């Protein structure tokens, strides 16, 4: 094995580990949000976790000696902070209060598809057939998982909020990919999280009131959300995004519904239905298909040269 091949193998392993950490922590966030959301309003919960995450990331940034990102990275960082950390977090928290699980999963599941479409056009990542096929399969599986856990009613307001969340996520990921061309994963995550927290400051008064009235368990759940699913998971996500396309990485988020089903089974005693398990299998299949590399084009046959060595006329 050449030195370059060995180095590429190490990078792939590190990226895979980073993706695994992100998916597990984001899956656990759904359980924590369900628990804390009973006592904390959507806006205050978003602000609380973002402030905690930003403080933790800033401390790590100082320890590692990384300063301000260069000017070229800031447009992408602003997109990450406002659209993903800000709009997505608040809209999703709010939308799930007005939409049943099936509808929310169906609409938010559009996010990775939008990432692939925007990445293919704006980031010149193209539209590989395995990625598009995998996204279609995984989206169907995500919808099945959501429908298996649904059964409630959704208002138009809830549907629109979930759609806003999906669009915010897609814009944020594409902006993040561009920012990572100029700044480190930690810089982009830290300042994006700080901007998201600043955008949620109108909920500061509500956060103070909620924390005063909420039980200690809800506050601890918010702290957990800030430290792990926000600070750590978004950092490892950004690290992985420096090593793969936005479309392929976005497709891996379809693993989250599967992990949520398993965590809810283990932690909340919510036994998954056969329909949910079937949907989870579709999600995993879609992710596997999306990560296949497209076949290289067949080589064109070389022109034959006459045996005499003379060129033909």
What per-residue confidence (pLDDT) applies to 311? 37
Q: Find the helix packing angle between 129-148 and 256-267, rounded to 10°.
A: 30
Rounded-to-integer distance, Cα 305 and Cα 313, Å: 12
What per-residue confidence (pLDDT) applies to 301? 55
Confidence of residue 81 (pLDDT cuts 50, 70, 90): very high
- As a whole number, mean pLDDT of residues 107-130 equals 83
pLDDT tens, residue by residue, 8-36: 455 578 888 999 999 999 888 877 887 88
Does residue 251 carry a pLDDT above 50? yes
High-pLDDT (> 90) share of the chain, %: 42
What per-residue confidence (pLDDT) applies to 8? 47
Helices (H) and strands (E) in the chain, counts: 15, 0
Q: Which residues touch 120 (CB under 8 Å, ≥6 apart)?
A: 126, 127, 247
Does residue 236 carry a pLDDT above 80? yes
Query: Which residue has 């060129």 as its token pair?
Result: 311
Q: Which pair of tokens denotes residue 312?
A: 């033909």
Rounded-to-integer distance, Cα 172 and Cα 189, Å: 11
pLDDT tens, residue by residue, 136-189: 887 887 777 766 665 555 577 877 888 898 899 999 999 999 999 999 999 999
Query: Which residue has 């927290």 as its token pair?
Result: 197
Q: Which residue has the higher pLDDT, 274 or 210?
A: 210
**DSSP-derived secondary structure letter, 227:** I
Rounded-to-integer distance, Cα 185 and Cα 192, Å: 10
Rounded-to-integer distance, Cα 149 and Cα 167, Å: 23
Confidence of residue 59 (pLDDT cuts 50, 70, 90): very high
Does residue 257 carry a pLDDT above 80? no
Confidence of residue 309 (pLDDT cuts 50, 70, 90): very low
Q: Which residue has the higher pLDDT, 143 or 270?
A: 143
Rounded-to-integer distance, Cα 253 and Cα 256, Å: 6
What per-residue confidence (pLDDT) applies to 5? 47
What per-residue confidence (pLDDT) applies to 41? 92
What per-residue confidence (pLDDT) applies to 225? 95
pLDDT tens, residue by residue, 197-214: 999 999 999 999 999 999
Q: What pTM, to 2 d.p., does this model score?
A: 0.81
């Amino acid at each position: 094995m050449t030195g370059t091949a060995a180095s590429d193998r190490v990078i792939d392993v590190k990226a895979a580990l980073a993706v695994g950490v992100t998916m597990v922590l984001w899956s656990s966030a759904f359980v924590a949000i369900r628990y804390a959301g009973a006592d904390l309003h959507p806006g205050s919960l978003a602000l609380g976790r973002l402030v905690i995450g930003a403080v933790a990331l800033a401390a790590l940034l100082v320890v590692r000696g990384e300063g301000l990102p260069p000017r070229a990275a800031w447009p992408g960082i602003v997109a990450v902070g406002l659209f993903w950390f800000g709009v997505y977090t608040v809209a999703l928290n709010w939308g799930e209060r007005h939409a049943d699980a099936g509808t929310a999963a169906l609409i938010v599941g559009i996010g990775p598809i939008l990432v692939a479409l925007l990445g293919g056009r704006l980031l010149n990542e193209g539209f590989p057939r395995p990625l598009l096929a995998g996204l279609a399969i995984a989206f169907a599986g995500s919808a099945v998982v959501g429908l298996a856990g649904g059964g409630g009613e959704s208002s138009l307001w809830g549907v629109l909020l979930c759609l806003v969340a999906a669009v915010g996520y897609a814009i944020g990921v594409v902006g993040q990919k561009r920012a990572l061309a100029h700044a480190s994963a930690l810089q982009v995550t830290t300042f994006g999280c700080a901007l998201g927290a600043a955008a949620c400051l109108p909920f500061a008064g509500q956060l103070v009131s909620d924390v005063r009235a909420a039980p200690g368990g809800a506050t601890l759940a918010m702290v957990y959300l800030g430290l792990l699913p926000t600070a750590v998971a978004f950092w490892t996500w950004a690290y992985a995004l420096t090593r793969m396309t936005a479309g392929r990485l976005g497709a891996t988020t379809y693993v989250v519904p599967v992990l949520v089903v398993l965590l809810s089974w283990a932690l909340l005693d919510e036994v998954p239905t056969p329909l949910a398990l079937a949907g989870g299998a579709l999600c995993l299949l879609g992710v596997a298909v999306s990560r296949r590399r497209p076949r290289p084009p067949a080589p064109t046959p070389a022109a034959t040269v006459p045996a005499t060595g003379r060129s033909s006329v």
